[in-house]
Amino acid sequence: MPPSATPDVGQPAPEFNLKGPGGQAVTLAEYRGKRHVVLVFYPLAFSPVCSHQLPTIERELGRFTDLDAVVFGVSVDSHWANSAFADRLRLSFPLLSDFRRETSAAYGVLLDAGHSGRAVFVVGKDGRIAYKDVAPTTAEVPDNGRILAALESLR
């Protein structure tokens, strides 16, 4: 996954239309001008590192909300698997299904194994990438503190 394959900070964020809880469509465009969007790409539901990473975001969700951001987890799992995973972890933020892998590819994080790498993108209200953290391996987790600092800089 070469770093140049991911959109750079300042570039327009790739649009997406993904299935969320209950199969409801979620698009990036619906948040433009309204809220910052934090996209948390994780490789696979029910995997050990993902089962650790997503609850750390849940614990900080109030801080994300206070910074006028909405958080979405994104994986290649079906929306049914993501719903079961969110229920198991007691997550209150939506997990989106990139089952066709188009969004992972557009953000440059699709791995040869067929799932995404671990990455976080902050999309500003203007629809541009404001921050990105693409982990070098799927075992490494982006730091929530840096994500929150990036959101703070958008105030």
Q: Catalytic amino acids?
A: 50
Q: How far is 66 from 9, CA to CA, in rounded Å?
A: 23
Residue 27: closest CA among 12, 13, 17, 14: 17
Q: Which amino acid is at 102?
A: E
Greatest Cα pair distance, the chain, in angstroms, is 38
CA distances, 139 to each of 65, 119, 135 (Å): 27, 11, 8
